[in-house]
Amino acid sequence: MKVLAIETSCDETGVAVYDGKNLRDVLYSQRVHARFGGVVPEIASRDHMRKLLPLLHELLSPDELPAIDVIAATRGPGLIGSLLVGFGFAKSLAYALKKPFIGVNHLEAHIFSLKIEHEMETPFVCLLVSGGHTILMVVEEWGRYKILGETLDDAAGEAFDKVSKLIGLGYPGGPAIEKAAEEGNPRAFPFPTPDPPGYDMSYSGLKTAVLYTYQKLSPQEKIDKIPDLAASFQHHAVEQLILKLKKAVKETGINRIGLTGGVAANKLLREWAHELGEVFYPSRRYCTDNAAMVALTAYFYAQRGEFHELDVRADPSLSL
Ligand code: KG4
Ligand code: ZN
């Protein structure tokens, strides 16, 4: 069974084919948003429209299309305009080729990204950390998730993006903070490590602490202290994730861990997580949004014979 999958939930346009064994995928990361300091939804939708067809042609020759058995696309959560481009395109293709269609949950696709390069066995504790979500869960089996805790305010990636913008490092913030932090001292600024009760997480206190500290710096310090600010923020932001992960491993007795989502690309998070158990994460290109993870998720549901009717709608706030 061969699945064609499309991803357009935010600012990456992706197309992939997967047949249970061979995976091919192409990806275009929209760079146009950098100068605005964050994703501009209208520009994102237009860029998806511009790139989707050329990417499909890059991946598949026209005579390969009839050999596709299932068409899939990200259904949500995400930016509604962006979702509609890929979702509408994929549904039209399914209609024209008379193939079954699957709308894929973007969060579940991030979990499935762990299967792209690893024989990932269940159960495992999964930390899904992206620009829009921060969820700690137990993946009891593929398709069955027990949520332990979530962020009460900003997502982890969102906090990286906001702090990066504040200290002048631009968008996307995660990689920029990580790079600047390499030259900095993580103990230079004693920011608080947030620790809400239970498994929940929060970034508002840490973010405010960085803001107040930054406002008190002289114009010269605002430049000289960038590496120290980045390293100190990263240290405390990651420490919170590790505290919750450690608690989950201890309380569930499961020491197989999966890190996924854009922030799972972070080296410090990966390094510290290795101290807690057997850790898996996708390579960097599959941590951030891509169509390969959508294809694997769709393949799983196609095997179970679970498809959507073509009147299914994209849902910007779809949950797990
Ligand atoms: O999964 P993703 O591509 O999109 C969403 O579904 O949100 O994640 C993007 C997020 C951005 O907030 C970005 O700053 C963050 O992941 N990110 C990182 C790193 N690389 C990307 N955060 C920390 N360290 C990184 N190396
Ligand atoms: Zn994502």
**3-111+287-303, superfamily in CATH?**
ATPase, nucleotide binding domain (3.30.420.40)
Q: Considering only CA atoms, which of 260, 265, 316, 295 is closest in space to residue 120?
A: 260
- Per-residue pLDDT tens digits for 141-200: 999 999 999 999 999 999 999 999 999 998 889 999 999 999 999 999 999 999 999 999
Domain boundaries along the sequence of the chain: 3-111+287-303, 120-281
Residue located via tokens 């501009």: 40
38 pLDDT higher than 90: no
The answer to whether residues 139 and 126 touch, using CB atoms and an 8 Å cutoff, is: yes
Intrachain domains 3-111+287-303 and 120-281 with the same fold: yes
Q: Of the bound ligands, which one is closest to the alpha carbon of residue 157?
A: 1
Query: 289 CB under 6 A from ligand 1?
Result: yes
120-281 folds as Nucleotidyltransferase; domain 5 (3.30.420)
**Ligand 1 proximity of 170 Cβ (cutoff 6 Å):** no
pLDDT tens for 266-295 read 999 999 999 999 999 999 999 999 999 999
Ligand 1 neighbour 259 (Cβ under 6 A): no
Mean pLDDT of the 83-105 span: 98
Q: Which of 12, 160, 234 to mutate to test the pocket of ligand 1 (most atoms within 8 A of CB)?
A: 160
Average predicted confidence (pLDDT) for the chain: 97
Please give the pLDDT value at position 165.
95
CB of 76 within 6 A of ligand 1: the answer is no
**78 in contact with ligand 1, CB cutoff 6 A:** no
Pocket probe mutation, ligand 1, options 116, 182, 288, max atoms within 8 Å of Cβ: 288
Say yes or no: CB of residue 282 within 6 Å of ligand 1.
no
Q: Which ligand is nearest to the CA of 155?
A: 1
Distance (Å, rounded) from C-alpha 54 to C-alpha 164? Answer: 33
Render pLDDT for 211-262 as a digit per residue (tens, 0 to 9).
Answer: 999 999 999 999 999 999 999 999 999 999 999 999 999 999 999 999 999 9
